Amino acid sequence: MIDYKIFYEAPAPEEYNELRVKAGLSSKDLNASKTGLKNSTLAVTLRFGEKLIGMGRIIGDGGNFYHIVDIAVDPAYQGQGLGKTIMTELTNYLDKNAPADSYVSLIADLPADQLYKKFGFDYTQPKSVGMYKRY
């Protein structure tokens, strides 16, 4: 097990994008990333020394709706429970701060859906389906 530290702050836009790409997610515009990161409801980062090795965020309106995004772990550090650590920190925040009847959503890439199921998330089908529009 590596000796990493947990921080409750957003990463810099450049390292955010670097980790997204390493973890198989898409790259994002740096200016948009700067704006989005500073508007996070909660950001959790895992660092090994100065190196960003994992992250996750909650975004939303702070009342009725929350969305979990950017769950990413550097492939060199995967398989050590870091994704579970990130989700634990995010759900602990929601357990303490999300009002009754609020709605928390996420889009799960496979096979990460299995991790999210361990935290009580379930599929919306057949009652509803996730949809998106990319710009």
- Compute and round to an integer the Cα radius of gyration of the chain: 15
**DSSP reduced 3-state for 32:** helix
DSSP label at residue 92: H
Residue 43 is inside which H or E element, if any? strand 42-48
pLDDT in tens, the chain (135 residues): 789 999 999 999 999 999 999 999 999 999 999 999 999 999 999 999 999 999 999 999 999 999 999 999 999 999 999 999 999 999 999 999 999 999 999 999 889 999 999 999 999 988 899 888 888
Q: What share of the chain is helix, strand, coil (3-state, %, to 5)?
A: 30, 25, 45
Predicted structure pTM score:
0.94
